[in-house]
Amino acid sequence: MFPLYRSVAIPLLCLASGLPPLALTGQSVEIQREIIESQRRLEEVRQERESLRQEMVKLESQVRDASAELANVERQISASRSAM
């Protein structure tokens, strides 16, 4: 029982005192690695989302331009028919 208490108490005391723990357990190192990897992946997803958002804004602008051009062509066709 004492070794378990000691393995938990020492890192907790170090953290409470502001000192870094002397040694991390293998499991703690693995968890920390997974957290870092998850944070890296989250940042990649955020960057991809921003890139896609910018592309969407650009495409929406192109659609508006194409719609306006189509409406203009339709008006010209209508005006040409009226003139005949």
Domain locations in the chain as residue ranges = 2-83
Q: Taking a C-beta distance cutoff of 8 angstroms, is the pair 17, 9 a contact? A: no
pTM above 0.75?
no
Using 50, 70 and 90 to split pLDDT, how confident is the model at 24?
low
Angle at CA 44, nearest 5°, toward 42 and 47?
110
Tell me: the pLDDT tens digits for 35-49? 999 999 999 999 999
Measured between alpha carbons, how far is 64 from 33 in angstroms, rounded to an integer?
A: 47
Q: Do the beta carbons of residue 22 and residue 14 sit within 8 Å?
A: yes
Across the range 21-33, mean pLDDT stands at 74
- Angle at 54 (CA atoms; ends 40, 69), nearest 5 degrees: 165
Residues recorded for the chain: 84
